[in-house]
Every structure is written in C-alpha cells, then in structure tokens.
Structure 1
Amino acid sequence: MKNVEQILKAKAQHHSVYTIGPDDSVLDALKLLAEKNVGALPVVENDQVVGIVSERDYARKLVLKGRSSPFTKVHEIMSAPVITVEPKQNLEYCMNLMTNRHLRHLPVVDNGELLGLLSIGDLVKETIAEQANLILQLEQYIRGE
C-alpha cells in the first residue's frame, strides 16, 4: 500500500498547491478556487498551515449566514485547527481519518512545511488502481503466469 509521499509525487506532475492568507478576503479565496479549479485552499500564515477554507465553508459559514464575501476575511470562515497528515502515513490511515472526520481535503505537512494537499478523490483513485493491480496479479497467478 502506498503512502502519502508516493501519492503526492505522482500528483505533483499535474498539480500545484495553492494557498491563501487568513487576512485575505473570502472573495479572493473564491476567485482562486474558481481560477485553479480546486475545492479547498490551505490557509497559510508565516509559512505555517493555520486552517483550510473550502467551498463547503463558504456555503455554510458565509452564504447561509448572509455575510458578504468582499468584506469577510478567510480566517472568519476557515476550518481550524486544521487536521494534517505526514508524508509517511499510509493510504488506509488517510481514508479512515477523512471518513471519520468528514473531511474532503488533507494538507500534508512535514516539520511544519506544507508539502501538498490530498483530496478524497486522490485516495479513491489510488485505491481503485491498487485493487485493479491486485486483481491482475491474482488472475495471472490463477493462470500460472
């Protein structure tokens, strides 16, 4: 089973990690989410992840409460403290954490440094690939190859 570091390496070829500051406006966060076509942004202050802001945070903590995105700061709606994982964590641990905590995104942090962001989609994709590989190996074993 792969660990977080291996998944991030494969993902890094196609994706960058975009971040936002806690004092930026929610409107700026929304623009970045839309421009980069991502569902969440780690909130970084002084090179430390202090929270995460997602489309869910926007919908539940701003829109439903009648607040204004140009005048609301990210820190007012972000999820904090943020739950993170380390590069050596395995896929199963991350899936359990995301399922039990109802998370869709996990920042990956090593010694305080943000290395990447895993989505539930990343983990599902990797799980499917691992299962397909296992099925192939079993079929080859049964055929005596």
Structure 2
Amino acid sequence: MRKHWAAKEFEDTKKNLTDMQYYVTQEQGTEPPFQNEFWNNANEGIYVDIVSGKPLFSSLDQYDAGCGWPSFTKAIDAKEIVEELDTSHGMVRTEVRSNTADSHLGHLFYDGPGPTRMRFCINSAALRFIPKEDLEKEGYGEYIKLFS
C-alpha cells in the first residue's frame, strides 16, 4: 500500500527535486537510457534515495548490464526496498520502490549475474551518489566498512 504524504512533505518534495527526479520518483516515470547520471558510474560509494536520503545500493554491487541505467545485484538493506506488481505498458514486471519515501526507483528483473540472477534496474534520477571519501562528512560513516 502506498504511503500518503502530508501536504507540507509533498510541497517540500516538489520544491527539492528537478523535473526529471519528480517525474521518476513521484509519477513512476523512466529517464532515457544512456542519458542519465549514473548508468556508467565507476566510482566507489553508496546510492541513497533522492527523496528520503535512505541508503539503497552500493557501487560494490553495481555492474554494467548494458541497459543504459544503473544496475545492481542487491540492495544495501532489503527492508528499504519494496517490490510491487507493475502491469503498465502491456508488460508484467516487478516495480521497485523505496520503503521510507515510497519513491519509484525502477524495476527488478531476473536476468542478472550470480546465483540470484537479480538485476535492480534503477533510474539515476531516483538516486543521489555519495562517494566513499564523503561518507563520513555526509552522515553515512557507518557504510565506510563496506569498502574495507
């Protein structure tokens, strides 16, 4: 079930996001492939929800799936990821949303590497990247251990 944001939170969200970030996270949009910020990011760090700031994915679990969007094999904390049935556009897919802010993030497919075959195909516009060297300064110091 989707969360209902209070009017103040809704207005703050709308003010703090770019048009593309709002379209993706609040209107279940999709940004263009290969024309987004993180599809080929090779830096170490974590990705957080652009709306709530909650940690979602690590660069350690990112790989090039050739699809034009950032792809990950797993989430940092599975409790922050919500999976929902998506039957839009004549397809049956698994939509991925953030638990705290109920942001649309992207979709989950089972064509990835490894034993789980999970591929979280995520819109860059739903993410903020925190480089490894800035984790402490940005308040995410507990995640430095991921890169030890």
TM-score range for the pair, normalised by the shorter chain length: under 0.3
Q: Give the alignment's TM-score, normalised by structure 1.
A: 0.26
Higher fraction of helix: 1
Higher fraction of strand: 2
Q: Give the alignment's TM-score, normalised by structure 2.
A: 0.26
